[in-house]
Chains A and B, each alone.
Chain A
Amino acid sequence: MTATTTSQPTAPAAPARDNREKMLERAMTKHNYSGFALIEVLHTAQGLYGFLTMPLLNTIARKLKLPPSRVLGVATFYHFFQLEPKGEHTFVVCTGTACYVAGARKILDVLEHRCAKSGGTSADGKVSVGSARCIGCCGLAPALIEDGRIVGRVTAEQLNNRLDQVGAKP
């Protein structure tokens, strides 16, 4: 099995010689193409492609015999599903109560000032910024998730250094 590059901001590549389509098909077969499994299928699709494009959502709608509006409705309802490509690096700041009290706003300000508004990606495609509702590391507030890794007790200075390292604009 070839590794898929889910973290790269590439659009879903041509389906030839690409086994992502096959893997998505397998996920749908596992659930007997039932519309009830829509959320599981979307999870799988996002895991394979990194984000969900309209053609992809349409394909899923057709295969699960659901109206495209229903599929788009579900994909946009849940925060987890991304309809746009992500940057090379992702910084998600926890804005749960404990982190908020510990100054998460200041951390998010650094990212929004240097990179992009929460939910967006910097113009150069380097950094995506997000916020999360409590990641459950309240003991280490304020916390953020950098490319899937939890970092606790973040300071603005630390974050600025880290952003320099990944090549974000000052």
Chain B
Amino acid sequence: MTIEELLEQQEAELERQKQLKGRLMCCTAAGCASSGSEEVKKAVQAEIKNQGLEGTLECCGTGCLGLCSRGPLVKSTSTGRLYAEVAASDARVLVEAAAGSGENARRLELDSTQPFFTRQTKVVLSGSGKLDPERLADYIAQGGYQALSKALAEMTPKEVVELIKKSGLRGRGGAGYPTGLKWELVAKQPSDLKYVVCNADEGDPGAFMDRSVLEGDPHRVLEGMALAGYATGAQQGFIYVRGEYGLAIQRLQLAIRQAERERLLGSHILETNFNFRVDLRIGAGAFVCGEETALIASIEGQRGQPRQRPPYPPESGLWGKPTLINNVETFANVAPILTNGSEWFSAMGTPKSKGTKVFALAGKIVNTGLIEVPMGVTLREVIFEIGGGIPDGRKFKAAQTGGPSGGCIPAEFLDLPIDYESLAKIGSIMGSGGLIVIDDTQSMVDVARFFMEFCMDESCGKCIPCRAGTVQMHDILDRILKGNGTAADLDMLRELSRLLQETSLCGLGQSAPNPVLSTLKYFSEEYEALTK
């Protein structure tokens, strides 16, 4: 495909969609799929056929519409309404409403003026829920692959790196390393063989942002990776995706095939001299593989065990070659930055953390689901306005961010703006974006034990502090919970925490004590009550 043909395809698809009266976009992401959205989609499609409305209406699958707790969700483009808890038997009323007759769909309507919808800013998720992830034409209609064509036609690789640097984009995998700097490091390496790796090994329990992006808008990630390849001089990309994410894998495989067929990936992309291939690597269930050196080992077909850094992957990564590793959400931000410019991006967020962040809301919160907000909003806004507060009249106790590497944030910090630095300051981390709300029925010591059990199971066993330390810490927590703990146990927990932080080989061990330390700090009375 040439650049002109890309624009023609966009025109043609937009024209085709304009001819339709509307589309019924049925969420088929994993959340809604498990409440039966596939049946709803089939029923609506059959109903459209039954009523002879094939040229007027269309029903297709789409990515996450956000409010997973009210699924299956269906969005109608002709009425602009969002319908919740739809059953296959509702197909007729939905089709009638979309065709402009019938009032019977009212009872299914969701109030789209509630803060959950109005308070969000969608960049990464701008395509999720608007396009059919199984159709390349849908992505192209939304201006897809034009950032790539613009870069190939008008910009040097160096200019792309500069633009990303200027935008202030930071890694969305958790640590927040400036993306542009990382790209520059890889671009500077003299090697003729380089790799781009997309880390989609989203292992944090309670985090499903990356899965939703891959399921809902896979081409956006592929385009971001191709841009990274162009900027750094790499010709081969890998996506390392969790084996548990069946639907995401399926959609990615399809998207790669579609893009290759249209020469948007592969050799001579958009009829230029730029070549970039993307291959999938399926993970096999090891949390530690989210750590970059362990991920590299896993792609090379070995046990996923980390190694000492430096050298860092930008110097020596996959097969010893310079390797750029970014997270799914980071890559999903790239194409919008190329299209809208770095100023547009850096206008969002806080001075040090630019742009938006996708969070997965879960736990004891009314609106569980997927949200995207500008950096710097407060936890209170996220939990009580967008999230709708705590159900069953219970009280907020803590918010857990960053999974097993993060911490528990108590109520006193509800008004803290969320960005990388502020979360680190109070002993948690941004992490990949899982946000779990805990109410006053939950014991915080139990939460600490839960995460320690996780780290104990997932420790790869290579370094002793992590392998033995997590077991010891877990046993102490278990003892405390059973009422057999003493005050000396609390001191031992603190000492072991410091040991793990300072001497573990990789991030898993270094951050494993975070949930314990943050609960010891903010909920010490619970520990004391149990050790008296």
B341 proximal to A (CB < 8 A):
no
Partner of B205, one of A77, A78, A95: A95
Q: Using known A-B contacts A38-B301, A78-B286, A79-B284, determine if residue A98 contacts B31 with beta carbons closer than 8 Å.
A: no
Q: Which residues 1-47 in A have Cβ within 8 Å of B in the complex? A: 34-40, 42-43
Do residues B282 and A97 form an inter-chain contact, with CB atoms below 8 A? Answer: no
* Contact string against A for B residues 283-318, beta-carbon threshold 8 Å, 1 for contact and 0 otherwise: 111110000000000111111100000000000000
Q: Using known A-B contacts A79-B284, A80-B285, A96-B206, determine if residue A39 contacts B298 with beta carbons closer than 8 Å.
A: yes
Do residues B208 and A138 form an inter-chain contact, with CB atoms below 8 A? Answer: yes
* B458 / chain A contacts, CB cutoff of 8 Å: 133
Number of interface residues of B (CB under 8 A): 51
Q: Which residues 187-228 in B have Cβ within 8 Å of A in the complex? A: 202-208, 211-212
Identity of the chain A residue whose Cβ is nearest the Cβ of B319 in the assembled complex:
A36
A135 proximal to B (CB < 8 A):
yes
Do residues A133 and B205 form an inter-chain contact, with CB atoms below 8 A? Answer: yes
Partner of B31, one of A34, A38, A39, A137: A137
Identity of the chain B residue whose Cβ is nearest the Cβ of A39 in the assembled complex:
B301
* A156 / chain B contacts, CB cutoff of 8 Å: none
Binds B, one of A83-91, A121-129, A139-147, A160-168: A139-147
Partner of A136, one of B211, B282, B298: B211
Do residues A79 and B285 form an inter-chain contact, with CB atoms below 8 A? Answer: yes
Partner of B360, one of A80, A138, A150: A138
B501 proximal to A (CB < 8 A):
no
Q: Which residues 48-86 in A have Cβ within 8 Å of B in the complex? A: 70, 73-74, 77-81
B245 proximal to A (CB < 8 A):
yes
In the bound complex, how far is the Cα of B207 from the Cα of A139, in angstroms? 11
Binds A, one of B55-63, B349-357, B362-370, B373-381: B362-370
B450 proximal to A (CB < 8 A):
yes
Do residues B205 and A42 form an inter-chain contact, with CB atoms below 8 A? Answer: no
With a 10 A CB-CB cut-off, give which of B202, B244, B299 has the most chain A CB atoms: B244
Identity of the chain B residue whose Cβ is nearest the Cβ of A99 in the assembled complex:
B205
Do residues A77 and B436 form an inter-chain contact, with CB atoms below 8 A? Answer: no
A159 proximal to B (CB < 8 A):
no
Do residues A81 and B442 form an inter-chain contact, with CB atoms below 8 A? Answer: no
Q: Using known A-B contacts A39-B298, A97-B436, A133-B203, determine if residue A140 contacts B68 with beta carbons closer than 8 Å.
A: yes
Least Cβ distance of A112 to chain B in Å?
15
Least Cβ distance of A132 to chain B in Å?
7
Least Cβ distance of B21 to chain A in Å?
31
Number of interface residues of A (CB under 8 A): 39
In the bound complex, how far is the Cα of B34 from the Cα of A78, in angstroms? 26
Do residues A74 and B303 form an inter-chain contact, with CB atoms below 8 A? Answer: yes
In the bound complex, how far is the Cα of B205 from the Cα of A101, in angstroms? 11
With a 10 A CB-CB cut-off, give which of A79, A96, A137, A139 has the most chain B CB atoms: A139
In the bound complex, how far is the Cα of B71 from the Cα of A139, in angstroms? 9
In the bound complex, how far is the Cα of B368 from the Cα of A40, in angstroms? 35
Partner of A77, one of B286, B362, B369: B286
Do residues A98 and B30 form an inter-chain contact, with CB atoms below 8 A? Answer: no
* B360 / chain A contacts, CB cutoff of 8 Å: 138
* A120 / chain B contacts, CB cutoff of 8 Å: none
B179 proximal to A (CB < 8 A):
no
B69 proximal to A (CB < 8 A):
yes
Do residues B205 and A134 form an inter-chain contact, with CB atoms below 8 A? Answer: yes
Do residues B438 and A80 form an inter-chain contact, with CB atoms below 8 A? Answer: no
Do residues B68 and A97 form an inter-chain contact, with CB atoms below 8 A? Answer: no
Do residues A101 and B284 form an inter-chain contact, with CB atoms below 8 A? Answer: no
In the bound complex, how far is the Cα of B33 from the Cα of A77, in angstroms? 31
Partner of A138, one of B243, B298, B362, B450: B362
Do residues B34 and A77 form an inter-chain contact, with CB atoms below 8 A? Answer: no
In the bound complex, how far is the Cα of B373 from the Cα of A94, in angstroms? 27
With a 10 A CB-CB cut-off, give which of B298, B436, B442 has the most chain A CB atoms: B436
In the bound complex, how far is the Cα of B288 from the Cα of A133, in angstroms? 12
Least Cβ distance of B229 to chain A in Å?
20
In the bound complex, how far is the Cα of B364 from the Cα of A37, in angstroms? 42
In the bound complex, how far is the Cα of B279 from the Cα of A39, in angstroms? 14
In the bound complex, how far is the Cα of B281 from the Cα of A35, in angstroms? 14
Partner of A98, one of B202, B298, B436, B460: B436
Known: A95-B205, A98-B205, A137-B208. 8 other contacts (CB 8 A): A40-B301, A136-B30, A136-B245, A138-B208, A138-B436, A139-B31, A140-B31, A152-B34
Contacts A/B (CB < 8 Å), 25 sampled:
A38-B301, A40-B301, A43-B243, A70-B302, A77-B304, A78-B285, A80-B243, A80-B285, A97-B362, A97-B363, A97-B400, A97-B403, A97-B436, A97-B450, A134-B203, A134-B205, A136-B202, A136-B244, A137-B31, A138-B208, A138-B368, A140-B68, A141-B362, A143-B34, A149-B34
Binding site for B on A (CB under 8 A): 34-40, 42-43, 70, 73-74, 77-81, 95-98, 100-102, 132-141, 143, 149-152
| Shortest beta-carbon contacts, A-B, top 6 | A139-B68, A138-B362, A96-B205, A78-B284, A136-B208, A79-B285
Binding site for A on B (CB under 8 A): 30-31, 33-35, 68-69, 71, 202-208, 211-212, 243-245, 281-287, 298-304, 360, 362-364, 368-369, 400, 403, 434, 436, 438, 442, 450-451, 454, 458, 460
